[in-house]
Amino acid sequence: MQMALAAAPFVSAGMSVVSAAGQISAGRTQQRMYNAQAEQARIQGRSQAIAYKQQGAAVLRNLNETLASTIALAGAGNVDPTSGSARVMQEFARAEAFAEYGTALDNAVLAKEGAAAQAQVYRMAGRAAFQTGIINAAGALGEGIQRSLTLQPGATAAP
């Protein structure tokens, strides 16, 4: 019985060390999860940017088809495709396509920038989780030391 009482402070201290290690490990695991989410956000942003660039390419492809159709129709009707209403239609198509193309490119940039910002938020949350784990570990060690001192008769925390 005496031996069990003598070992109690050491067992308590050992449990505190195990608890502290668990706190640090949990914080590190949480940080890894946030880092994975950050990488996923970055990949998703790149994917969205690619989709917007493809949308811009489709706009230019449609513009080429519209211009070709306008020129062909004008030529079939013995009308000069570079003047008059044929030219006005081509200029209108170009203006609309360039505006749409510019919007698609802007959206691509915004998708990448937004994803980068979201990834940074996740990384910061991961760092905070790891730091919280360290703080919790220090608290667990402090509690363990206090508990050990309480179990050890005649011991004090004061130097």
Tokens of 113: 């920038």
pLDDT band per the 50, 70, 90 thresholds, residue 113: very high
- Which domains are present in the chain? 10-151 (1.10.287)
> Which DSSP string do the residues of 39-87 spell out, in sequence order?
HHHHHHHHHHHHHHHHHHHHHHHHHHHHHHHHHHHHHHTT--TTSHHHH
Average pLDDT over residues 46-73: 96
pLDDT higher than threshold 90 for residue 145: no
pLDDT band per the 50, 70, 90 thresholds, residue 147: confident
Supply the pTM of this predicted model: 0.72
